[in-house]
Structure 1
C-alpha cells in the first residue's frame, strides 16, 4: 500500500522545507535545535516521513489548545 512506503520514506532538508512550506534555513535551525525529529547521515540532515507527520500532528494539537 502507498501508506507503508511513505512511512519508511526518508526526506532531505529541501523535501521537508517544501512539504512544510518554509525555507531550508528554517528546517536547519529546527533540526539543529532538536525541535523537529531528524538525524544525520554523513553530516547531512535526514528526516523520516512518519516522524514529520507525527511532529505536525503534535504541533497542530498544541496550536489548537492555544487558539481555543
Structure 2
C-alpha cells in the first residue's frame, strides 16, 4: 500500500491533484522551480516534494514578484 502512495506522478496527475491545467504545471516547472524530475521525455513528480513547494510559497511567491515588477 505504501508503494502506491509513494509512486511517481505524471503531469496530468499532479495537475489534477493541485487543481490546475497541464499547461500551468509546465509553466511552473519552467518559471517557478516546481520540483520535477525528467525521465526521458516525461516529467515526474513526488507528491511530498510538491506539497512542500506549495507550502513554501511555490508559484504564488513568484507570481507576486512578477506582478509587482509589472506595475513599475
Which has the greater radius of gyration? Answer: 2
The C-alpha deviation readout for 1:20-59, integer Å capped at 9, x for no partner, is 1111000011112352100110111111111011112112
More strand by share: 1
- Which structure would you say has the larger RCO, counting Cα contacts within 8 Å and 6 or more residues apart? 1
> Where does the alignment leave 5 or more consecutive residues of structure 2 unmatched?
62-72
Give the TM-score, by structure 1 length: 0.70
Aligned length: 60
Q: Which runs of 4+ in 1 moved over 3 A?
A: none
Give the TM-score, by structure 2 length: 0.66
> Where does the alignment leave 5 or more consecutive residues of structure 1 unmatched?
64-68
